[in-house]
């Protein structure tokens, strides 16, 4: 196969960046990554402790080293440390603040400083703008509607007509609030923007801290700045060659082959995954010439002898590793980087692209301050800057080592891409048959991903006898459906959206529910061009952190009812408590996965089996919603398992938020693989162990054959990702991380820096193995994932192939950003017990379709046994008969849907030993053959996603796919 070259992954347009610095290694290394991605740093910004007696600063708001100017004190900065104490800010590093003014001279960049005002008022991981108020936007009458600059919606960051906040726009008579220390960034950045109006981005050094990242994102987006966090999850990403080599054309096929070969050799030798190497980041810093000195220690493994050690050196790394190893493995995730507050650093030198001189501190000008409890830090009396001469600077530039950036694809997805390239090249035996891994270094792979033999399926035996499920009306979760109304006369898409948003608000008020009760949404548009306008009004619903996950597609003309330009489907949980709702909402650019640039989260997790509501009382006029007798009442049913709703994932390059170049010869294959990797990374971060089912959306294809081929590519990618050689199958004892600990109760790594209530958390075994595998095959009942016998291993592989979660492909009109694919996992499952999942697939009796003969109905069940309850997701797929003309578009009548519902209910009754057929309704229904004539059909069909065509994993055309969710209690 011909080699395929990887082009440089750089931003097509340079951003003008304000760099937040604390003096620590992470903030400066983040600056280097901004430069490596083609951005220009225009200013440095720092917050200092206003109460510190040793600080000598210019007046608040003034900045140092303006263009053409230098510090009046020349190359020296002097402070008096008498009576000094570390502020111990939750948000900002304050140790070494006396040195900060010298960075203007050392880097040649303007430095702006402001004092820290306030304390940590909000202690949760996710930050809410304290001045934020709910917005109720109205139709703009074709004029760009700009939200209040002091209360911007989450939707504004990516919208035309939105103007960023500039200095001088603040209100003159705002009442003083008891603000969180995070808000100190606002006046600082406004001062910078006044001096540098071209600035449009803000970078920070967050690696693992949700606490820090979400606060910087909140401030950045309010001021119209693009947040950049290139170090986010950096230690989880695959390493790469140095940046200067990365810019050259490198064969992706060669890298994939090498990583696959290494993975297979590890698998053959029975070697478990290598221990995580967070120290790699410190070595990367050392490689580019960053010098980071320890200025504070606050860990039982470190004492004051470590002060002023250079952690960005091989000697420093080894010394830290030895100290941390006393407390098991490496002391916990991120501990060797100081992410849990183990130590803090001060950068005194760096590569010539950033540093023009070196900061020098003599021994006599450092003083050790001991706070007790093993905490000690350095205070500085005097420091100097020694500038490099021009010849030295030029020599260092010539010999500079490029910043190491992560590979675009993990080894799992390097291999996945190779599978797709093999399929595209014609290395196949029949539709759906794709190869996974090579039998040697250069020959064709031997594992057949097309195996579908049902003889290896895990049988649905041992399922408990259950009681009839609740009716949808009394279920704790519901799907709310809204269709743009045609009404009397035609409404614009904006008018329809405003109407829908108003209906949602009214219904939330009636049910006494906050908007956080919404966990996910699907938005179907007639035209994707309407998306920015729709996004603005939709986003006005959400003023709290972590808005719902979201999937957006357009279906084109002729599929939605006449004059309807939009359909909105919301999953709403009527009994969800605030502490039960967990979110992942990364709005910064990084190398990890695409940032959220609208009112949606990457993922929302919630209890899979919430206590069912036995009585719901709607709030009426004059009623007190807080009355105890009117609150929803719950049964005793409970579950520790979590459901995870994940946003649709399109193949944006995370660092630049652009699509891969369309000129790439393997453009389709790369987009499919990259978007699937995004889904996997979000799932891993949310501790997902199993997918229930998924759909890959594709824009309108030029031909039926092309769409069928794309469906087969998606199927191959889905199978390869599930079967990739990976020996870590999870923990049989279920010693996994409890996601319920990740919300306001902590422990976030940044919380642990300062807050005593978090410091009792130690490193768990799970953290040392992190991340656990996805998929985690040990959650399947009846599957022995630890067999070492070769014959058993072959059978095990075939069983795995037959039990890969159901996938289908849907052809729609268009996807966001004109993407070539969008992956949508219907549900991720987390916090699962071993052997708690049973899967069962069957082909039911044929269902008649007028004008098209009989359709085959394939039913795929996934059952999650959790305590005294069972959750079931069922996917029912109607298949066209062999020989059916794909050019025909048959109309599916309501009777056909009723037949699907009846067959699904009968299957559930049989498998769960129910006394009678359960009443079920679909959560989502996809059709490639139905044109709606009005809302009456929608009421019975439910949440409908009209598509141009549907395809199963074998390349066979489908007519209808319905997703059902059923929750039942076990019979006593």
Residue 751 scores a pLDDT above 90:
no
Give every CB contact of residue 21 below 8 A, 6+ residues apart in sequence: 27, 28, 31, 44, 45, 46, 100, 103
pLDDT exceeds cutoff 90 at 300: no
User: Residue 178 — pLDDT band, cuts 50, 70, 90?
Assistant: low
Where do the structural domains in the chain lie, given as residue ranges? 5-236, 272-398, 475-736+772-969
DSSP annotation of 964: E
Maximum average pLDDT range among 148-152, 259-263, 606-610: 606-610
State which of 61-65, 136-140, 619-623, 809-813 shows the largest mean pLDDT.
809-813
Q: Name the DSSP letter for residue 399.
A: T
* SS3 category, 934: coil
pLDDT of residue 965: 93
- For residue 407, give every residue at least 6 positions away whose Cβ sits within 8 Å of its Cβ, in sequence order, or none: 237, 238, 239, 240, 255, 414
Angstrom distances, CA of residue 135 to CA of 142, 537, 538, 550, 618: 19, 9, 11, 20, 24
5-236: CATH homologous superfamily?
Answer: HUPs (3.40.50.620)
CATH superfamily of 272-398: putative n-type atp pyrophosphatase, domain 2 (3.90.1490.10)
When pLDDT is cut at 50, 70 and 90, the band that residue 489 belongs to is low
Q: d(Cα 929, Cα 892) in Å, to the nearest integer?
A: 6
Decide: helix, strand or coil at residue 168: coil
Q: How many of the other CB atoms lie within 10 Å of CB of 427?
A: 15
- Dump pLDDT digits (tens) for 720-745: 999 987 433 333 344 444 454 444 43
pLDDT at residue 504 is higher than 80 = yes
What percent of the chain is predicted at pLDDT more than 70? 68
Q: Tell me how many degrees the CA angle 467-470-473 measures, rounded to the nearest 5.
A: 170
b/e burial code for range 739-772 (CB count within 10 A of at least 16 → b)? beebbeebbbbbbbbbbeebbebebbebbebbbb
With CA atoms as reference, report the closest residue to 677 among 729, 721, 726: 721
Would you list the DSSP string of 242-304? -HHHHTS-EEHHHHHHHHHHHHHHHHHHTPPPPPP-THHHHHHHHHTT-EEEEEEE-STT--G
Q: What is the pLDDT of residue 8?
A: 34
Query: In the predicted model, is pLDDT for residue 457 greater than 80?
Result: no
Rounded to the nearest 5°, which phi and psi values hold at 809? -115, 145
pTM of the model: 0.84
61 pLDDT above the threshold of 50? no
Alpha carbons 949 and 660: distance in angstroms, whole number:
26
Cα separation, 32 vs 243, whole angstroms: 11
Cβ-based neighbours of 665, under 8 Å, separated by 6 or more: 4
């Amino acid at each position: 196969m011909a080699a395929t070259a990887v082009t440089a992954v750089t931003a097509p347009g340079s951003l003008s960046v304000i760099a937040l610095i604390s003096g620590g290694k992470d903030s400066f290394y983040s600056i280097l990554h901004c430069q490596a991605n083609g951005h220009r740093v225009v200013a440095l910004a720092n917050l200092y402790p206003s109460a510190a007696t040793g600080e000598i600063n210019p007046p608040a708001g003034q900045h140092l080293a303006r263009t053409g100017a230098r510090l009046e004190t020349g190359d020296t900065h002097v402070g008096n440390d008498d009576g000094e104490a570390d502020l111990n800010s939750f948000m900002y590093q304050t140790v070494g603040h006396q040195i900060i003014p010298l960075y203007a001279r050392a880097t040649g960049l303007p430095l702006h400083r402001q004092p820290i005002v306030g304390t940590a008022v909000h202690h949760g991981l996710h930050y809410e703008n304290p001045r934020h108020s709910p917005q109720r936007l109205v139709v703009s009458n074709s004029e760009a509607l700009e939200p209040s600059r002091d209360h911007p919606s989450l939707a504004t960051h990516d919208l035309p007509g939105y103007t960023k906040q500039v200095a001088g726009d603040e209100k003159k008579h705002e009442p003083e609030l008891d603000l969180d220390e995070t808000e100190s960034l606002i006046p600082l950045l406004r001062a910078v923007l006044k001096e540098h109006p071209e600035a449009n981005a803000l970078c920070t050094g967050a690696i693992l801290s949700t606490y820090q990242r979400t606060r910087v994102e909140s401030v950045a987006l309010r001021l119209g700045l693009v947040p950049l966090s290139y170090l986010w999850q950096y230690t989880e990403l695959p390493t790469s060659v140095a940046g200067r080599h990365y810019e050259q054309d490198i064969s992706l096929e060669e890298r994939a082959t090498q990583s696959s070969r290494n993975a297979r050799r590890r698998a053959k030798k029975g070697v478990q995954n290598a221990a995580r190497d967070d120290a790699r980041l410190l070595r990367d810093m050392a490689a580019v010439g960053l010098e980071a000195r320890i200025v504070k220690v606050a860990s039982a493994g470190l004492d004051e002898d470590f002060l002023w050690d250079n952690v960005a050196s091989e000697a420093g790394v080894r010394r830290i590793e030895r100290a941390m190893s006393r407390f098991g493995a490496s002391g916990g995730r991120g501990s060797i980087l100081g992410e849990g507050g183990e130590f803090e650093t001060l950068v005194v030198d760096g590569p010539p692209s950033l540093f023009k001189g070196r900061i020098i501190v003599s021994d006599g000008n450092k003083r050790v301050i001991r706070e007790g409890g093993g905490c000690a830090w350095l205070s500085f009396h005097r420091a100097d800057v020694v500038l490099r001469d021009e010849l030295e600077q030029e020599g260092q530039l010539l010999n500079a080592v490029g910043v190491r950036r992560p590979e675009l694809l993990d080894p799992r997805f390097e291999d996945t891409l190779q599978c797709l390239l093999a399929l595209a090249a014609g290395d196949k035996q029949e539709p759906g048959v794709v190869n996974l891994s090579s039998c040697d270094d250069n020959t064709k792979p031997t594992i057949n991903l097309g195996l579908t033999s049902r003889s290896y399926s895990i049988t649905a035996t041992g399922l408990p006898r259950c009681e009839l499920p609740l009716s949808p009306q009394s279920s704790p979760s519901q799907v709310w459906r809204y269709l743009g109304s045609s009404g009397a006369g035609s409404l614009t898409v904006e008018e329809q959206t405003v109407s829908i948003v108003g209906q949602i608000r009214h219904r939330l008020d009636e049910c006494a529910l906050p908007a956080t009760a919404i966990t996910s949404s699907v938005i179907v548009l007639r035209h994707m061009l309407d998306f920015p306008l729709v996004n603005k009004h939709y986003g006005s619903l959400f003023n709290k952190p972590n808005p719902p996950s979201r999937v957006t597609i357009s279906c084109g003309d002729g599929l939605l009812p006449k004059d309807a330009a939009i359909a909105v489907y919301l999953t709403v949980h009527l009994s969800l408590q605030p502490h039960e709702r967990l979110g992942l909402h990364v709005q910064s650019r990084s190398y990890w996965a695409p940032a959220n640039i609208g009112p949606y989260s990457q993922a929302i997790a919630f209890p899979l089996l919430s206590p069912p509501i036995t009585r719901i009382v709607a709030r009426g006029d004059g009623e007190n919603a807080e009355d105890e007798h009117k609150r929803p009442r719950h049964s005793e049913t409970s579950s520790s398992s979590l459901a995870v709703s994940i946003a649709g994932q399109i193949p944006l390059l995370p660092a630049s938020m652009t699509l891969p170049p369309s000129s790439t010869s393997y453009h389709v294959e790369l987009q499919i693989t990259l978007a699937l990797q995004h889904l996997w990374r979000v799932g891993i971060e949310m501790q997902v162990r199993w997918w229930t089912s998924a759909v890959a959306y594709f824009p309108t294809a030029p031909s039926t054959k092309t769409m069928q081929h794309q469906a087969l590519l998606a199927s191959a990618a889905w199978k390869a990702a599930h079967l990739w050689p990976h020996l870590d199958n999870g923990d049989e004892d279920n010693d996994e991380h409890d996601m319920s600990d990740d919300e306001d109760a902590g422990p976030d790594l940044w919380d642990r820096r300062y807050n005593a209530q978090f410091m009792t958390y130690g490193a768990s075994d799970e953290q040392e193995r992190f991340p656990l595998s996805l998929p985690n095959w040990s959650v399947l009942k009846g599957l022995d994932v630890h067999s070492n016998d070769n014959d058993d291993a072959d059978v095990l592989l075939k069983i795995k192939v037959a039990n890969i979660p159901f996938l289908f492909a849907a052809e729609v009109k268009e996807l966001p950003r004109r993407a070539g694919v969008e992956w949508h996992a219907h549900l991720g499952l987390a916090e699962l017990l071993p052997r708690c999942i049973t899967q069962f697939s069957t082909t039911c009796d044929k269902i008649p379709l007028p004008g098209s003969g009989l359709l085959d109905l394939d039913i795929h069940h996934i059952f999650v046994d959790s305590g005294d309850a069972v959750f079931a997701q069922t996917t029912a797929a109607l298949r066209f008969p062999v020989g059916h003309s794909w050019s025909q578009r048959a109309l599916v009548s309501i009777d056909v849907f009723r037949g699907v519902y009846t067959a699904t209910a009968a299957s559930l009754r049989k498998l769960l030993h129910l006394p009678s057929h359960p009443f079920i309704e679909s959560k989502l229904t996809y059709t490639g053959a139905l044109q709606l004539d009005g809302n009456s059909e929608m009421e019975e069909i439910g949440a409908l996603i009209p598509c141009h065509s549907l395809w199963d994993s074998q390349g066979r055309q489908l007519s209808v796919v319905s997703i059902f969710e059923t929750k039942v209690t076990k019979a006593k």
